[in-house]
Amino acid sequence: MALPVLQRGDGCCRGRHARCGRHHAVRSQDYDSFAGAWPEREAAGGEDAPFAQALGNARKIVVSSQQLEFTWRKSEKLEGDLVDAVTALKNEPGGNIALSGSVSVVRQLLAAGLLDELHLLVHPIAVRKGMRLFDEGETAIPLRLISSETFKTGVLNLVYGPAEPTGEATYADAKVHLAQPEQ
Please report whether residue 4 resides in a domain.
no
- pLDDT band, very low/low/confident/very high, at 183 (cuts 50, 70, 90): low
What are the φ/ψ torsions at residue 68 (nearest 5 degrees)? -125, 155
pLDDT at position 181 is 75
Query: Which residues, other chains included, contact 129 with Cβ-Cβ below 8 Å and sequence gap of 6+?
Result: none
Please report whether residue 157 resides in a domain.
yes
Q: Residue 100 sits in which domain range?
A: 11-175
Please report whether residue 183 resides in a domain.
no
Mean pLDDT of 129-142: 82
Structure-model confidence comparison of residues 33 and 169, the more confident one: 33
Long-range CB pairs of 18-21 (<8 Å, 24+ gap) are: 18/50, 18/51, 18/54, 18/55, 18/58, 19/54, 20/95, 20/96, 20/98, 21/58, 21/95, 21/96, 21/97, 21/98
Please report whether residue 21 resides in a domain.
yes
Query: Residue 81's domain is classified under what CATH number?
Result: 3.40.430.10
The whole-angstrom separation of Cα 54 and Cα 170 is: 45
Q: What is the pTM of this model?
A: 0.72
Please report whether residue 16 resides in a domain.
yes
pLDDT at position 19 is 41
Please report whether residue 142 resides in a domain.
yes
Please report whether residue 2 resides in a domain.
no
- Taking 50 as the threshold, does the pLDDT of residue 180 lie above it? yes
Number of domains the chain contains: 1
Please report whether residue 5 resides in a domain.
no
